[in-house]
Amino acid sequence: MPRTPGAEGAPPRIPRRTALLGGAGVLGAAVLLPGCAASGPQAAPALPEAAATGATADGGVLRMARPPASQAETLDPASSLSAYEYLGALYSRLVRMDAEGQTVPDLATGWESDDAGLVWTFRLRDGVRFHDGRGFTSADAAYTLRRIVDPDLASPQGTVLGPLVDPGRVHTPEPGVLVVELTTPNFEFPALLTNYHCYVVPDGDGDTIGATGIGTGPFRLDSFSPGGRGRIVAHDDHWEGRPALDAIEMFSMTDIQARTNALLAGQVDLISQTNLDFATARVVEASERATIARSVNAQWYVLPMLTTAEPFTDARVRRAMKLAYDPQHVIDVALQGTGVPGNDNPVPPDTPYWTDYALERDPDRARALLAEAGHEGLSLELYTSAYDPVFTPMALAYRDSAAEAGIDITVRNTSADSYYTQIWMQKPLMATYWYTGRPADQLLNQVFRSGSSYNETAWSDGAFDDLLDAARATADEDRRRTLYQDAQRMVVDEGGAMTPMFADRLVGLSRDVLNYHESGFEFDYLNIGLRP
């Protein structure tokens, strides 16, 4: 996923949420009658391309409606059950990813490796303090990294960093210097530290961080109830300066209708981590109180074929499935044009290492490949649910497009509550999504490498794995780009994932909110504010 897949929650392998709250939070589940959403102009305007910007009021409180979360959620950023919406406000990382997908400084001001890509040296900011007044040093960075790779913690990012980072080879020669001696060469190592599980926590605070939330971010914790209400307040001593807001109040609400109605009623200012379907987004944009912020290419949607299950064990069938459909048709139906073709490549367009390689649609060739594989007149079931509003229209659009190649697909709509425990990675063909924001190396290794717990198609190819290893060990950036692009071509040609499209995430927010900017898994907590 995706889950949260971003692919997190249960199952802990992804970044999204699958557990439902026992309650709706303080606002309740029925804020407005559905008819109230129709107030405001009757003509539905085009959705805005970006959020409104400008000078904000001095202070103010932003009210955020969160999706359902597990009552086992925690403020520990390394956990698979982390309360995601709090993390970017409370913590900082050594490095972060900018809007163009580049790795840029955060708590580290610079970094360099030796010629072999084995020893990495990070130089850290002076004068940074945690919320409780402790000064940030290399000891905190080293502790954070060692903790992430601790098998007992079972951090999702531990599966990525564990093969590279030996806790005994993480050194702190000076308070402002961190040295990491990797077990194998990796010239993409800093990019792997942009992951949101890599937020820095104070040295020794692992047992308490899930409740205290002590970090170096622009906000500090005021209150937190797992799966319920919480509040964070401005950290006046933040190293980048005080945030524009005085506080953010968090409310957990059980369904998208309740969250949308609360926004339209003016009871919340922002619906977090919710991708509105196009029809709902048009209603929100037509209202007097609310509008839409568009996060371009924020999610990629997938129709995974389980390569260990018939008929997808045969590469000819997998290729036929890709040749059979028109990605633009799927976008037009499922996204109403608010996205771009994925062309079965999950690396986001125009990010570092992306390639524009694509298979040209050819239903006749798809039909011939199926006949060659002994599957002429192929009939399949494609599983979907209401977990995400795009799943079912995407599945139906694919069904209609693939019919021209003689593929007969029955779309099965299943329960959203159990979708990621009983359908995802269980059925041979289903619908899912992932959040973008991962560097290409992490994405390709996590989602497609042999044996990865995130490998939702169970595709395994030694040559593909070798390409990834070679790319990591290559110092020359142009050569490294070529290797990663070769790996993407293998995903398109041989892999089990159909990626019809990248979708813009449509976020609902009050017309009083300014400077909402989303990048990767989080938005800009420092500069978001309210109109004067």
pLDDT in tens, 307-319: 999 999 999 999 9
Fold category of 95-209 in CATH: Dipeptide-binding Protein; domain 1 (3.90.76)
Residue 365 CA, chain-centre distance (Å), reads 35
Mean pLDDT (the chain) is: 89
pLDDT at residue number 288: 94
- d(C-alpha 249, C-alpha 268), whole Å: 9
Predicted confidence (pLDDT) per residue in 465-483, tens digit:
999 999 999 999 999 999 9
The mean per-residue pLDDT over the stretch 186-210 comes to 96
Stretch 411-434: mean pLDDT, rounded? 94
Asked if 202 and 142 count as a contact pair (C-beta separation under 8 A), the reply is: no
Q: CATH 3.10.105.10 in the chain, residues?
A: 297-505
Residues 234-247: what's their mean pLDDT?
A: 97
Q: Residue 59 — pLDDT band, cuts 50, 70, 90?
A: very high
pLDDT number for residue 17? 29
- Token match 């190649």: residue? 405
> Cβ distance 190 to 102 under 8 Å?
no
How far, CA to CA in Å, does 43 sit from each of 287, 335, 400? 10, 20, 31
CATH topology of domain 297-505: Dipeptide-binding Protein; domain 3 (3.10.105)
The predicted model gives 29-39 an average pLDDT of: 37
Indicate the residue type of 411: V
User: How far apart, in whole angstroms, are the C-alpha atoms of residue 40 and residue 345?
Assistant: 41
Question: The whole model's pTM is what?
Answer: 0.84
Distance from the first to the final alpha carbon of the chain: 38
Name the segment(s) of the chain with CATH classification 3.90.76.10: 95-209
- pLDDT at residue 45, as a whole number: 57
* 108, 114, 118, 120: CA torsion to nearest 10: -10
